Amino acid sequence: MAVRIGIGIITCNRKHVLAATLARVRAHTAMPYELAVADDGSTDGTAEMVRAQNITLVTGRNMGIAWNKNRALFLLGAVMQCDAVILLEDDSFPTSDGWDHEWMQAAQRWGHVNLAGAWFSDSFLSGSGTLDDPILSTNVSAQCSGFSRTALLYGGYFDSRFRGYGQEHVEHTRRLLRVGYGGSYEEIDGEVRPIYKLLKSSIEVTNPNSFSNQPDRDRNWLMCRELLFDETYRMPWRDDAELVQFREEMANALRGR
């Protein structure tokens, strides 16, 4: 049976950046795939541009990147039943053909995989960054990530209490590691530490060091430290009100297909 691939692109108020990334994804992706844009309440015409290209759009009011990534993951993985979902931030894009095949295989083999960005190469322990020899790293970044549907079934989604941008991906990836996807825990210099599996890949990132404003960043950092030891499965919502909001966003996305 063929593996169903979903590609989700996360954006907010960067219509022209998103348009360039969409063109590159379409130019370099060979396998059949479902494409969706998750838009976090843009006011710059992003939604209209995406709909004009007949691309599936899931959107709603601005909720922060954790909620927005859940929009894409849940739509592609749970609703559309893709076996592997690749998430790209809107300023991260493939530069060569066949990139999707390697990410799909890695997501299926490891459950979760992230990009080996050169900006944190001092965290790399070993590996060449290929499917058979992934880079093992003590740190992780979020510009391009792959997830198997099975990993999401066991590990859950991003915690919707994170707001703005920052640390939500660290907490989620650590949670996936604890249930057996995307890496392992190893003893290094007498301390047990998370070790992440990364692909070098042909993904270019134009702005790797993105941060939310200071209050969001500080709040998210403290929340991440608190949640790292909480192994509880997360749905994309925290309460009934968030569930109603999320279901409405999913329904609107499907109506627009």
How far apart CA 257 and CA 241 sit, in angstroms, is 25
pLDDT value, residue 59: 98
Q: Are the CB atoms for 181 and 148 separated by under 8 Å?
A: yes
pLDDT value, residue 164: 72
Domains in the chain with CATH codes: 5-255 (3.90.550.10)
pLDDT value, residue 200: 95
Strand ranges, E, within 50-177: 56-59, 84-89, 92-94, 112-115, 124-126, 135-137, 144-148
pLDDT value, residue 76: 98
pLDDT value, residue 213: 58
Quote the DSSP letter at residue 74.
I
pLDDT value, residue 212: 52
How deeply is 32 buried, as exposed, middle or buried, from its count of CB atoms within 10 A (0-12, 13-18, 19+)?
Answer: exposed
pLDDT value, residue 155: 95
Q: Are the CB atoms for 249 and 59 separated by under 8 Å?
A: yes
Low-confidence ranges of the chain (pLDDT < 50): 211
For the entire predicted model, the pTM comes to: 0.93
Nearest C-alpha neighbor of 45 from the set 14, 8, 22, 67 = 14
pLDDT value, residue 214: 60
How far apart CA 252 and CA 71 sit, in angstroms, is 12
Angle (deg, nearest 10), helices 240-255 and 65-73:
50
What does the block give as tokens for 69?
Answer: 């990534």
How far apart CA 71 and CA 219 sit, in angstroms, is 22
Residue 162 contacts by C-beta under 8 Å, 6 or more apart in sequence?
A: 64, 65, 66, 168, 171, 220, 223, 224
What does the block give as tokens for 223?
Answer: 């929340």
Distance from first CA to last CA of the chain, Å, rounded? 25
pLDDT value, residue 102: 95
